[in-house]
Chain A
Amino acid sequence: MKKQLDIIGKGIPKQDAGLRASGRAVYGQDIVLPGMLYGAILRTEYPSAAFSLDLTDALTLPGVACIITADDVDVNRISYKRDHPVLKQGEVCCIRDEIAAVAAETREIAEEAVRRIKVRYEIRKPCCDPFDALQEDAPTINRFAGGKFSHKNIAETFHYAHGDLEAERARSKIVLSRRFSLPRMTHACLGPSSITADCDIVSRKLTLYSSTQVPFLYQRDMAHALKMPPSDIRIIQPIIGGGFGSKLDMYPFEVICALLSMRTGRPVQIVYSRKEEFIASPTRQPMIIDLTAGVDAEGKFTFREVDIVKDNGAYTSWGATTPFVIMQAFSSLYKVRACRFDAKAVYTNNVFAGSFRGYGNPQATFALERMIDLLAAAIGMDQAEIRRINANEPGEITGQGLHYETCGHGECLDVVIRQSERVRNTANGGASRLQGRYRSGVGFASMLHVGGGAKIYRSDGCGTTVRIDPYGHCTIITGSTEIGQGSETVLAMIASEELGIAPDRISVINSDTDVKPWDVGVHASRTSFVAGNSLLGAIAILRKKLESKARQLLQCGDAELAFRNGLIETEDGAAHVALDKVVREMHFGEPNELAVANFFYEPPSQFQDTGFKGNVSGSYAFAAQAIEVEVDCCTGNVKVKNVWVAQDVGKVLNQMLLEGQIHGGVLQGIGYALYEELLMDGGYIINPNFHNYKLPTASDVPPIHFHPVETYDRHGPYGAKGVGEAPLIPTAAAIANAVSNALGVEISSLPVTPEKVLRALEEKNHKMHLA
């Protein structure tokens, strides 16, 4: 029998929503420290060039405290490949490159000083296409690349295989090959990137007010860059104005700000302008995916062969490791008997890509789900049916070794197929089918994502300290990070459920590396799962201590006790004692002990072997979406009319916050599908503003019909799985399938702009004329 839950599952507003709505929340750009200077960065004007600097003019400007260039600093290169110099020396490789930095009394003086730095460039021809960069005679783009691959411009490779590919090819009834191309999308967090660095000139210790998503990895990376002990660096996380993966890496501007503070002995702040945010913060990986896939006579998937070329840009970030996730979609989404996967990240003189909600999965899912529609059409099978008969199942261990102890894939598909059925029949059967100005279509897509963390770092754990003060107030000190998703609130709800303390008597401390225990960071949809389990572990220890004292006070032998409404009571409610009294008796009487407990939780997952096989997550999340679109064949505009979402969340922890993740994720997916592309031309970004880079607005939101599927995973807190990334992952694929369904054309790249729609229609008409 499941325990009756009083708080978990309810729709409770975010704990700090009132603070954020009041305007009193302090974001990075709101910090002001005494004596603070303002930093500004000079970036290159050309994507590929040699350069020399003349600082004379800038240095004489009154109010300039300090200017640094590569010649002035002793630092290590950054990124996990250590291929990225913080300040560039003598040559630049992309339009983002930092060549000097100023600290000054005001922002205006800092910006003026940057303008006064004279740079002489010797311009080189940039190499902006990854296929050009792979030619034998291509220039060396990153001279710090390790050189351990077959070509000097390859930054990283991944190879994976399972099953007998040739046997599966032979038994396939249909084999299709297609090329898919995916654009650069950028996070466009509303809060611009910022950092405030404060170096204590006496102790030489450094405090950084940073919006990082991964404070402990960041602390270590910063220490490596600055050649100082990690413990001398304290990371304080102010309230973060949006993350979505953009704050997973440490970037040059953050090291630069630390250097300026160390140099001047004063606090220094750098806040990006919006243009800088577009140019100098990371993007989703653009990539070309060549996919060959087969299906047998019954409609069962036989094999997938995948070759991916990713445009890495000039330097490597965690984004280069997205094939970890991409290969999971190809190897393990729907049952497939054989798979070969090869991906390479190739250096170019474009801006470097990073990690973005979904971590490669939206790209993979787009290619895979488009291909499934093509295979279905080729064997004459319904698009819903082919997905249903190949769906993943509970208990399945995939070719890659992912163990689906629980799996709601089939149920998710059933739900969206059923809910969209009426609309689908109208769209497919109506008189307007494939003719007339406005044409409707419905598309499907599924997704598989890690739902219980992802062991890609040596530990995927999270530490928690939980304590109750003598007045009955509970404090949770968690290693995990809040970036707006509401994890603090979920943790407070868990503590409330388990300790019988009202949520408003629980606070969560999570923003200071000198205080909070270690955690790997907020990514991989892991926080509620990993931090939630960590908290439950700490609470179990704390409850034992409290129960022992309560039994003594209640003189109730070893009766079962319950924590309810601020009381500890016998199960039948006959005898009870106030929780705060128990805490005081623990402190002031025997055993003279604090009501505090620590716990470190490591998910039951495996580090994958060199062939990328192993059960990398504590659980797996599944989802399916069905999307209805209406296409205007005169203008090429695509309007999303309805989105049906069914997602295996394990167990709903907070209905309201869950819906918030679904709505926000789906709308980002709609942006990816229809509007968003950071355009590069010859190494330059040509749309670095909200006017030309289109984010979806309030008017672009269709009705989103969300149905959570609960599968109760035994490893999750109350059965819950990760949810944050999932809603974005299948959206673009489902929209592309819907457009294809409406028009009878192939869609093989994103975003599906009006121009692409019209061109596809034109090609189709041309072909019909020829026929």
Chain B
Amino acid sequence: MTPSTESGSPPIINERTIVCQINGRTVTQPVQPLTSLLELLRDRLGLRGTKSACNEGECGACTVLVDYVAVNACLFLAVNAHGSNILTIEGMLQPGGGLDEVQRALVEHGAVQCGFCTSGMAMRIRALVNEQGAHPADPASGMRVLPSRADIQKQLEGNLCRCTGYIKIVDAVEALLQKKYGNPA
């Protein structure tokens, strides 16, 4: 079937070129309307640290940050990434290659087993930590309210892990938040 503009329906767009920032680098790529951000990252750009595990937004293994918000890259259309700023697990590494504080916390707390969920989990935690940093301390007392353990568990619900039982992942997040934003004892 060929698209018709005369009947009043909009033309079918086959390809769009998008421009976005990925891990601090400007990327220009032609994409199809149904290309997912996950396909763009993994198959086109070779950023295979982002994992593909369910392709239907249920497991969180493909979590990346789009303009600082954690999204499932498998459900996010690449065309919608035009003009945005994307961070993937590869972009979390420090210049020179060292692990980021989130990755380090996961390693130090024994929160990595098979590691397949870890990329997505680390991105989700990055968003959570960023968000906490955006909450100002109470001006009167200088105190911050940190999320409870149950809050952290709730925030990680969208990221499935089959190996660890999540406890050490939550431990890592708790410790990192305490270290960064904790109130002096």
Contact = CB atoms under 8 A, between A and B. Distances in A.
Are chains A and B native binding partners rather than an unrelated pairing? Answer: yes
Interface of A: 11, 13-14, 17-18, 20-27, 29-30, 32, 187-192, 239-244, 273-274, 483-486, 656-657, 659-660, 662-668, 689-691, 695, 697-699, 701, 704
Contacts of A666: 165
A346 to B, nearest CB: 29
A485 B164 CA distance: 10
Given A190-B116, A242-B116, A663-B165, A24 B49 contact: yes
Contacts of A242: 114, 116, 162-163
Given A190-B160, A484-B115, A21 B56 contact: no
Contacts of B113: 14, 484-486, 660, 664
A17 B170 contact: no
A83 B108 CA distance: 47
A23 B55 contact: no
Nearest to B122: A21
19 contacts: A14-B107, A14-B110, A17-B115, A21-B118, A23-B88, A190-B59, A190-B117, A190-B160, A190-B163, A239-B114, A240-B114, A242-B162, A484-B113, A484-B163, A657-B110, A663-B166, A663-B167, A689-B54, A691-B58
A701 B89 contact: no
Contact of A704 (B51, B53, B115, B165): B165
A289 B76 CA distance: 47
B110 A191 contact: no
A141 to B, nearest CB: 32
Given A25-B115, A663-B166, 11 more contacts: A11-B110, A14-B112, A17-B110, A30-B48, A274-B59, A484-B114, A484-B115, A665-B165, A690-B59, A698-B152, A698-B159
A660 B163 CA distance: 8
B168 A274 contact: no
Contacts of B61: 190
A698 B103 contact: no
Nearest to B103: A21
A664 B112 CA distance: 11
Interface in B130-185: 150, 152-154, 156-170
A659 B110 contact: yes
B100 to A, nearest CB: 9
Contacts of A701: 153, 165-167, 170
B107 A21 contact: yes
Contacts of A21: 99, 103, 106-107, 112, 115, 118, 122
Contact of B162 (A190, A273, A704): A190
Contacts of B58: 274, 689-691
Nearest first, the 5 A-B pairs at minimum CB distance are: A23-B49, A20-B115, A663-B165, A484-B114, A23-B89
Nearest to B108: A13
Contact of B166 (A189, A662, A698): A698
B119 interface: yes
B117 to A, nearest CB: 5
Contacts of B169: 698
Nearest to A23: B49
A365 B103 CA distance: 38
Interface of B: 46, 48-56, 58-59, 61, 88-90, 92-93, 99, 103, 106-110, 112-119, 122, 150, 152-154, 156-170
A23 B120 CA distance: 9
B157 A13 contact: no
Contacts of A20: 112, 114-115, 118
Contacts of B117: 190
B153 A699 contact: yes
A244 B152 CA distance: 27
B106 A29 contact: no
A411 to B, nearest CB: 24
B27 to A, nearest CB: 17
Contacts of A274: 53-56, 58-59
A695 B162 contact: yes
A143 to B, nearest CB: 36
Contacts of B89: 22-23
A667 B115 contact: no
Contacts of B50: 23
A55 B113 CA distance: 44
A666 B167 CA distance: 11
Contacts of B54: 274, 689-690
Given A22-B99, A23-B49, A241-B114, A659 B59 contact: no
A660 B109 CA distance: 10
Contacts of B107: 13-14, 17-18, 21
Nearest to A654: B110
B48 A483 contact: no
B180 to A, nearest CB: 18
B55 A273 contact: yes
Contacts of B154: 698-699
Contacts of A273: 55
A651 B118 CA distance: 29
A32 B42 CA distance: 11
Specify which of B58, B88, B158 lies most central, judged by the most chain A CB atoms within 10 Å of its CB: B58
Nearest to B115: A20
A651 to B, nearest CB: 19
Contacts of A192: 52-53
A97 B46 CA distance: 33
A13 B168 CA distance: 12
A656 B122 CA distance: 20
A241 B116 contact: yes
B172 to A, nearest CB: 10
A486 B117 CA distance: 16
A21 B107 CA distance: 7
A9 B15 CA distance: 58
A660 B115 contact: no
Contacts of B158: 697
Contact of A699 (B46, B53, B157): B157
A189 to B, nearest CB: 6
B90 A23 contact: yes
A328 B176 CA distance: 45
B53 A191 contact: yes
A697 B160 CA distance: 6
A18 B106 CA distance: 9
Contacts of B53: 190-192, 241, 274
Contacts of B162: 187-190, 242, 244, 664, 668, 695
Given A663-B168, A698-B153, A191 B163 contact: no
Contacts of A30: 48
A273 B161 CA distance: 18
A23 B119 contact: yes
B82 to A, nearest CB: 23
A239 B115 contact: yes
